[in-house]
Amino acid sequence: MQRYFVAPEQFGTDQVSIGGEDARHIAKVMRGKAGDKLIVSDGVSREALVEIALIEIGEVVVNILEPLEMTHEPRIKITVAQSLPKGDKLETVIQKCTEIGAVAFAPFLSERTIVQYDERKESKRLERWRKITKEAAEQAHRNIVPAVLSPLSWKQLLQSFSGYDAVYFCYEKEEGLQLRSAAAPWLSALPPESAGKVMIVVGPEGGFSPEECRAAEEAGAVSVGLGSRILRCETAGMVAAACILYESGEMGGA
Ligand code: SAM
């Protein structure tokens, strides 16, 4: 069943108003008609089974049939921090990690970031990245739309670590501690109902320097390996997010 995210203020007591691109999609692509059922979510706390009541130019009004439980979200809240990669690789990371269950993305700049970040294009790129999270969240039946932060400087990234219960700095030269050994004990010690906040930090195509690894550890991150194979920068975050959610039992199964 098609799912749409709307802003909380569009959610009324008995009806929801759907506008913009989603209204066009319902009318033109889905060829919606009165009586058709959809799912709408405000991406925060309300989700409902609804039925089309009225289709007008630029607006679709739906009647709320029944509220739905928001049960598709992992309790481990993963933020994927990714050093800005070249081309559209970040779009791949955002799409796939949204499907996997990440709740936020924090692009950042590091020593070996190749792409020249142009602040003038920031709003356009942010808009594109946020569109991708919304579409991926709808496709994956997520209850929330992950956030995409404005790109952070290296210093801002380090300062953000204190806001997380665990920060795993994926370091390709880490021959000691591997992600599973670092995360498993912490996850199993987590009280069943509590939601742990985790950041996964992934470098650019050229990787991290030893100095960056040291600085990250001093700021509270744990340097971890992801096994002996070198993953592409756009693969590493997906692997780390999936491994953590698998380890915490949130990829299905007991
Ligand atoms: N230029 C580096 C090299 O050839 O050794 C590879 C960097 S890798 C393409 C990009 C990022 O993915 C790394 O900075 C790291 O964050 C992550 N990564 C890839 N493979 C990893 C591994 N086996 N262990 C930990 N992190 C890894």
User: In whole angstroms, what is the distance from residue 160 CA to residue 153 CA?
Assistant: 11
Atom of ligand 1 nearest to the CA of 201: 16
For residue 254, being part of any structural domain is answered with: no
Q: How far apart are CA 243 and CA 241, in angstroms?
A: 5
Q: Which amino acid is at 91?
A: E
pLDDT in tens, the chain (254 residues): 899 999 999 999 999 999 999 999 999 999 999 999 999 999 888 999 999 999 998 999 999 999 998 888 999 999 999 999 999 999 999 999 999 999 999 999 999 998 877 878 888 999 999 999 999 999 999 999 999 999 999 999 999 999 999 999 999 999 999 999 999 999 999 888 888 999 999 999 999 999 999 999 999 999 999 999 999 999 999 999 999 999 999 998 76
Strands 222-224 and 166-170: parallel
* Ligand 1 pocket, CB under 6 A: 170-172, 174, 202-203, 205-208, 225-227, 229-233, 236
- Of the three residues 24, 45, 67, the one that is the final residue of a domain is 67
Whether residue 27 lies inside any domain: the answer is: yes
Whether residue 53 sits in one domain with residue 149:
no
- Which ligand 1 atom is the nearest neighbour of the CA of 203? 14
* pTM of this structure: 0.90
Q: Domain check: are 103 and 200 in the same one?
A: yes
For residue 123, the domain's CATH number is 3.40.1280.10
Three-state secondary structure readout of 178-242: EHHHHHHHHHHHCCCCCCCEEEEEECCCCCCCHHHHHHHHHCCCEEEECCCCCCCHHHHHHHHHH
202 and 158 belong to one structural domain: yes
Total count of domains within the chain: 2
Going from the Cα of 236 to the center of ligand 1, the distance in angstroms, rounded, reads 7
Per-residue b or e along 95-111, where b marks 16 or more CB atoms closer than 10 Å to that residue's CB = bbbbbbbbbbbbbbbbe
* pLDDT for the residue numbered 155: 98
- Could you give the maximum distance between any two Cα atoms of the chain, in Å? 61
| 224 and 115 fall within a common domain | yes
142 CB neighbour count, 10 Å cutoff? 25
* Of the residues 41, 67, 93, the one at which a domain ends: 67
Q: Is residue 252 in a domain?
A: no
For a substitution probing ligand 1, which of 167, 168, 172, 211 has the most ligand atoms within 8 Å of its CB? 172
Q: What's 19's domain CATH number?
A: 2.40.240.20
How far is C-alpha 46 from the geometric centre of its chain's CA atoms?
Answer: 19
CA angle 132, 200, 233 (to 5 degrees): 65
Same domain, 12 and 97: no
Distance from the CA of 41 to the center of ligand 1, in angstroms?
A: 37
Residue 208 sits in the same domain as residue 114? yes
Please name the residue whose Cα sits nearest to atom 1 of ligand 1.
206
Q: Are residues 90 and 52 in the same domain?
A: no
Taken in order 45, 238, 91, 252, is the CA torsion positive or negative?
Answer: negative
Where do the H-state alpha helices sit in 112-199? 122-139, 154-160, 179-189
| Ligand 1 atom nearest 169 alpha carbon | 16
Domain range for 161 is 76-247
